Structure 1
């Protein structure tokens, strides 16, 4: 009983740490365009994102429930607390490594890959809930392509709407619009990304026998939202530089188009209870916006490196989680 209590407490601590790291790791994606176009100063953008992330995080729970039950069945998972703790440690390691090198990797891919890897290490491939897991994988894989298309469409519409507008006046006006789109972007980030830690903590409570359903408890929602808000307030300026400037040279009209495109996709995924990668969606929206303006405007070499990181994140985090599980299993 003592080891179950210890493991559950450790899971909650590491889940909140994951949300905190997710906050400063992925906040950059939500505010990168507004900072890069000087619509907002980094300090103001980060604080606004922290508040909007918190509000978004406590508003919805559908994605949290999907994380709780769609990857593996927490009620069928033996040694579940060790599995969840191993997954969290692996995801945190991967997030910190990619943050250190300024790579806009996906926290969503990292945690989902880690849960799957640790669960497989514990109980074999049969433990996966293939219906739910494949649905989540489809959302993660398709959302970047949808984001590219949406970014292209929104930017194409903007080009038609502002065709005869004076460039200086248009950019000045759109900077004000970007403040709104950055706030919306941060809100939608909270509605989707903070949910993942809530789902993990709920899995731990079920594994410990302290909860019998998949409802997200109020204290879990507030704790996860607060951790993400605090992490957001730290900011992630290395990733702002990559997302906001290295994919393409952004003007206010490009930033607003990318924000609107990505926020609509992230919020749409939240409404249908599917986790998506805010990193993937925002970066892909910028690529779509750049392609609508001029295909050569997109620095495809940087984009290619980002895509390679997307591809390797899930298998790498799964392998890390399996290793962490075997080590933790020896200890506990």
Structure 2
């Protein structure tokens, strides 16, 4: 029974690895900071390292949720743990196949709580611990991460406002995403790998293989869980990264940097305090918050509501499956354990074979975080920032000055043209007047000359007439004289 529980717990750890790969690597892949295969390999390595950094969450699972003192026969509790793991694994595989937003952590908690309620009763569950370290963090952590991401996004854009007019002015955040996404993967290992450690530790305590006073998991448990979650991250992550090129195509480097910073800070702080968070919910809340931090964004409440319903259904749905598996154990005893094992294998194999009908690659994998990216609508043309408004005002001022200068030049040109036309008209008028005066003078001179010529002609005629009369008298006298002389000769 112990071997079966440990084997199934490690398989759950494997599914947790590939189910939550995109929580760390969705945004850096979407913004182009990391290639998909490089991102998944980096996430696997850092999940492995993160599993060794803390054990607070493991102690919450092994010494917090279940009241060991209320269990009279610890050995009989092992089949219930097995039944709870069946509920968690079945829900994880189903949501993985359908690409539904869910939480591996809440699937595990739901399956374990459902099986305990059926096998032990209400007294077997520490509801105070469940409320304080599971339910409340599940409600508060996405809101906290969203608020932090919103503020960091605002701050990032405010500090780099001078690059507003440059198309690639904030591309430096793309390099920062390599660090922040790595930090998220490390934080994922510190929180999610420990949940499986807590289940195995609880199993060892119930079997009497570990003292109840020893809260720390064994080194081999830590190593096994770390290797398993890293292997699951590397091998199975492609299906969970589907639609990265669709759901998060609007994520800018500054926005992705802010979302990852918020996710890592929230998870690391919760791991230190022993809160068993859902990495999916924290990462999704960060993406929504960072989206709202961009100008002109608004929430698509329909999409956000569907995501929230998926989160809320995870714990009770996994709890129902775990409770049903525990009922089979309670009804059939050892045969029930065998039947549960057969059902678990059938469900896992059937879902896996169903998933093979559509080949899953880096090009068509699915992401819960990408689905969360659709919950925020960002305008294609967001309103301008203060710097952009100042730049626009400066440009408008320059354009106004240029228009005024051009109008002044046009007016000056018109004035000069008018002066030239007026001068030309005056010159033309003066010339016409001078020509008229000259013409009048010439005419007058011609008339005077004509008159003078006429007077001269008249005077000439008079003179010629006066000269002719004396000659005639003279002729007559000479003729008379000749005649008289002739007469005298005779």
| Residue 87 of structure 1, CA deviation | 0.9
Out of 161, 164, 171, the residue aligned to residue 163 of structure 1 is 161
Once residues 295 and 135 of structure 1 are traced to their aligned partners in structure 2, the CA distance between those partners, rounded to angstroms, is 37
Once residues 328 and 199 of structure 2 are traced to their aligned partners in structure 1, the CA distance between those partners, rounded to angstroms, is 20
Does 2:17 correspond to 1:23? yes
Q: Deviations over 1:143-197 (max 9, x none)?
A: 1111111111111111111111264444431111111111101000000010000
Alignment of 1:1-16 (within 5 A): 7-16=1-10
The 10-residue stretch of structure 1 (283-292 or 98-107) with the greater mean CA deviation from structure 2: 98-107
The 10-residue stretch of structure 1 (42-51 or 305-314) with the greater mean CA deviation from structure 2: 305-314
Once residues 234 and 329 of structure 2 are traced to their aligned partners in structure 1, the CA distance between those partners, rounded to angstroms, is 32
Alignment of 1:6-155 (within 5 A): 7-77=1-71, 78=73, 79-136=76-133, 137-155=135-153
Once residues 244 and 126 of structure 1 are traced to their aligned partners in structure 2, the CA distance between those partners, rounded to angstroms, is 48
Q: Deviations over 1:262-317 (max 9, x none)?
A: 11000000011111000000001000111111464555433322111001111111
| Residue 76 of structure 1, CA deviation | 3.4
| Residue 126 of structure 1, CA deviation | 1.6
Once residues 64 and 71 of structure 1 are traced to their aligned partners in structure 2, the CA distance between those partners, rounded to angstroms, is 11
| Residue 235 of structure 1, CA deviation | 4.0
Distance verdict in 2 for CA 1:285–1:317, change over 3 Å: same
Q: Deviations over 1:26-53 (max 9, x none)?
A: 0111111111111111100000000000
Once residues 89 and 60 of structure 2 are traced to their aligned partners in structure 1, the CA distance between those partners, rounded to angstroms, is 20
| Residue 240 of structure 1, CA deviation | 2.5
Distance verdict in 2 for CA 1:95–1:70, change over 3 Å: same
Correspondence for 1:3 = none
Q: Deviations over 1:73-116 (max 9, x none)?
A: 23533422111111111101111111111123101111111111
Correspondence for 1:201 = 200
Structure 2: 5+ residue runs without aligned partners?
Answer: 335-490
Q: Please, what TM-score do these two structures have when normalized by structure 2? A: 0.64
Correspondence for 2:434 = none
Q: Is the 8 A contact 1:74 1:80 kept in 2?
A: no
Distance verdict in 2 for CA 1:312–1:295, change over 3 Å: farther
Once residues 238 and 299 of structure 2 are traced to their aligned partners in structure 1, the CA distance between those partners, rounded to angstroms, is 21
Distance verdict in 2 for CA 1:81–1:115, change over 3 Å: same
The 10-residue stretch of structure 1 (76-85 or 297-306) with the greater mean CA deviation from structure 2: 297-306
Once residues 50 and 275 of structure 1 are traced to their aligned partners in structure 2, the CA distance between those partners, rounded to angstroms, is 20
Once residues 236 and 40 of structure 2 are traced to their aligned partners in structure 1, the CA distance between those partners, rounded to angstroms, is 6
Once residues 76 and 61 of structure 1 are traced to their aligned partners in structure 2, the CA distance between those partners, rounded to angstroms, is 24
Distance verdict in 2 for CA 1:139–1:181, change over 3 Å: same
Once residues 257 and 82 of structure 2 are traced to their aligned partners in structure 1, the CA distance between those partners, rounded to angstroms, is 39
Tell me which structure has the larger Cα radius of gyration.
2
The 10-residue stretch of structure 1 (247-256 or 318-327) with the greater mean CA deviation from structure 2: 247-256
Correspondence for 2:427 = none
Q: Is the 8 A contact 1:151 1:289 kept in 2?
A: yes
Q: Is the 8 A contact 1:36 1:244 kept in 2?
A: yes
Q: Is the 8 A contact 1:35 1:42 kept in 2?
A: yes
Structure 1: 5+ residue runs without aligned partners?
Answer: 1-6
Q: SS state of the match for residue 148, structure 1?
A: helix
Once residues 238 and 302 of structure 1 are traced to their aligned partners in structure 2, the CA distance between those partners, rounded to angstroms, is 21
Alignment of 1:195-274 (within 5 A): 195-212=194-211, 213-241=214-242, 245-246=246-247, 249-274=250-275
Correspondence for 1:4 = none
The 10-residue stretch of structure 1 (226-235 or 165-174) with the greater mean CA deviation from structure 2: 165-174
Q: Is the 8 A contact 2:27 2:248 kept in 1?
A: no
Once residues 75 and 35 of structure 1 are traced to their aligned partners in structure 2, the CA distance between those partners, rounded to angstroms, is 48
Q: SS state of the match for residue 20, structure 2?
A: helix
Once residues 154 and 95 of structure 1 are traced to their aligned partners in structure 2, the CA distance between those partners, rounded to angstroms, is 32
Once residues 29 and 155 of structure 1 are traced to their aligned partners in structure 2, the CA distance between those partners, rounded to angstroms, is 18
The 10-residue stretch of structure 1 (176-185 or 320-329) with the greater mean CA deviation from structure 2: 320-329
| Root mean square deviation, CA, Å | 1.7
